Structure 1
Amino acid sequence: MRNNGKPVEQSEWDARVELAAVYRLVEIHGWGEGIYNHVSLRVPDEPDHFLIKRHDLLYSEVTASNLVKVPVHGDLDERTGVNRPGFVLHGGVLMSRPDVNCALHVHTAEGIALSACEAPLLMLSQYAARFYGRIGYHPYEGITDGMDERVRIERNLADNSALFMRNHGVLTVASSAPSAFIQIKDLLDACRIQLLLQAAGSNVIEIGELICERTVRQFAQHDEGRGGAAWPAYLRMLERSDTSYAQ
């Protein structure tokens, strides 16, 4: 269990393997954008540090051993090879939300398209209802490379589990990497469904508030129960094609 030749604790290694798996699964699902965008994971027992990929790596090249550990505080050490916008966004989120251990940010077409719509995410599907009352919106300020933007991102994310970054993309945050991955899948499905319905031009049926509130509670129970089988299934899918992520 080594990172660039240096030994690491078992808990950190397990986190590295899990995060590398998420990167590979993001690529498999078609949510990657070459070397851009990021998934970050707080280091177990080191809450002021997080793991993230090097800027130059494709998602398909990320492994447990080549992930980089960086501090959430201070400025970025450029020698790490970490992308500055990724450091600004993910470091800020993890610094402001001690309940969050993983942040996942993507620039998919459906996510960007809906982020650029004046209307918010509508409660048109079960996928959307998962996020009822749990979505923030952050206006576009250009590439997120300024440390001062962290404060505004933190304010707009607040205690939500998802953030629409206007004209830019979407972000999910969770207590674990598997949860952030499953949430981004559901959020992107919700975006796609809404865009399809808008394109169809037909009248839509929105889910009522009481049912949305009930659905949020049901998802919380589901995620703690039978939903726990989803992540091992995704890992089996990944390992059938490539196990190098765990190196």
Structure 2
Amino acid sequence: MATTLHDTKDTLVSRAERQMDTHFADPKLTTRQKIALTCRIAYDGGHDSGLAGQISARGEEPGTYWTQRLGLGFDEITEDNLLLVDEDLQVLEGEGMPNPANRFHSWIYREREDVNCIIHTHPLHAAALAMLEVPLVVSHMDTTPLYEDCAFLRDWPGVPVGNEEGEIISAALGDKRAILLAHHGQLVTGATVEEACALAVLIERAARLQLLAMAAGTIQPLDPALAREAHDWTSTDRRNKASFAYYARRALRNHPDCVTGEVEL
């Protein structure tokens, strides 16, 4: 006989969170493997735009981070061809050069100690929405991790290879995890690679949903209290890691070459 049918929502949420802590373990992956997998996940999710876009994650030493080599597409990134760079984009490990646009990553890492991974891409639907100079509107339960958590930069500062662009983008991002950059693309951040990856997948879906809804009628708002509740419920570390593990398993079926050896997910 059922014993939980009269439990409060708070009680059921707490129970589910405890169960997730038990059933979803941390993936046994290195940072480099997570970045390589994220590149393939992003590629499969429509984030490919030639050589545009960067993914980075902090290195072990302060002021360093891993990123991909300029000249390689997201579908060509492996754990072995990543670069370790410093804040001046000097290569400390690996061969080749980083994307000069990585400079604004250095600014974000300096401004946000809570950020350990940055993903900036020009996916089709997010870029199309950016062309309209329209902020991201979160009006569906699936996209609530971005509710009140996606900034908007209306003015395009030009090619983001200068320090000025780093100052502008990091300031516009503020304390949020994501930002839509007008006439440009999207940028998401995470305390973990898993969190940033999940948000990157989500923001492109959110932009696509918004464009479809705008074409059909007027988007109706979510109840703010319920949207904030959903944001918090769907933004936990365990859920991010479970989502990443799913995306990674799917990516490995399509791109088994991106990591070396066997991985547990």
Tell me if structure 1 keeps the 8 A contact 2:42–2:201: no
Q: Does 1:178 align with 2:178?
A: no
Instruction: Please give the alpha-carbon distance, in whole angstroms, between the structure 2 residues aligned to 1:83 and 1:113.
Output: 23
Instruction: Please give the alpha-carbon distance, in whole angstroms, between the structure 2 residues aligned to 1:37 and 1:118.
Output: 20
Instruction: Please give the alpha-carbon distance, in whole angstroms, between the structure 2 residues aligned to 1:127 and 1:184.
Output: 13
Q: Does 1:89 align with 2:89?
A: no
Structure 2 counterpart SS, 1:51 = strand
Q: Which has the larger radius of gyration?
A: 2
Structure 2 counterpart SS, 1:29 = helix
Instruction: Please give the alpha-carbon distance, in whole angstroms, between the structure 1 residues aligned to 2:178 and 2:203.
Output: 8
> Which amino acid counterpart does residue 33 of structure 1 have in structure 2?
S
Runs of at least 4 residues off by over 6 Å: none
Q: Does 1:26 align with 2:42?
A: yes
Tell me if structure 2 keeps the 8 A contact 1:122–1:128: no
Instruction: Please give the alpha-carbon distance, in whole angstroms, between the structure 2 residues aligned to 1:46 and 1:17.
Output: 18
> What is the count of residue pairs matched by the alignment?
228
Residue correspondence of structure 1 range 70-109 to structure 2 within 5 A: 70-72=85-87, 75-77=88-90, 80-85=96-101, 87-109=102-124
> What percent identity do the matched residue pairs reach?
25
Instruction: Please give the alpha-carbon distance, in whole angstroms, between the structure 1 residues aligned to 2:163 and 2:47.
Output: 26
Residue correspondence of structure 1 range 231-246 to structure 2 within 5 A: 231-246=244-259
Cα gap change, 1:141 to 1:224, in 2 (>3 Å): closer
Offset of 1:239 from its aligned partner?
A: 2.1
Q: Does 1:38 align with 2:51?
A: no
| 1:77-136 deviation digits (Å, cap 9, x = unpaired) | 488511111x21222212221110110111112111222334422232124422222122
> Which amino acid counterpart does residue 238 of structure 1 have in structure 2?
A
Structure 2 counterpart SS, 1:34 = coil
Residue correspondence of structure 1 range 177-216 to structure 2 within 5 A: 177-200=193-216, 202-216=217-231
Cα gap change, 1:36 to 1:203, in 2 (>3 Å): closer
Instruction: Please give the alpha-carbon distance, in whole angstroms, between the structure 2 residues aligned to 1:158 and 1:118.
Output: 19
Instruction: Please give the alpha-carbon distance, in whole angstroms, between the structure 2 residues aligned to 1:194 and 1:237.
Output: 26
Instruction: Please give the alpha-carbon distance, in whole angstroms, between the structure 2 residues aligned to 1:51 and 1:124.
Output: 34
CA RMSD of aligned residues (A): 1.9
Question: Which of 167-176 and 24-33 deviates more?
Answer: 24-33
Tell me if structure 2 keeps the 8 A contact 1:127–1:187: no
Offset of 1:237 from its aligned partner?
A: 1.5
Gaps of 5+ in 2: 1-28, 261-265
Structure 1 counterpart SS, 2:30 = helix
Instruction: Please give the alpha-carbon distance, in whole angstroms, between the structure 2 residues aligned to 1:189 and 1:48.
Output: 32
Offset of 1:52 from its aligned partner?
A: 0.6
> Which amino acid counterpart does residue 169 of structure 2 have in structure 1?
I
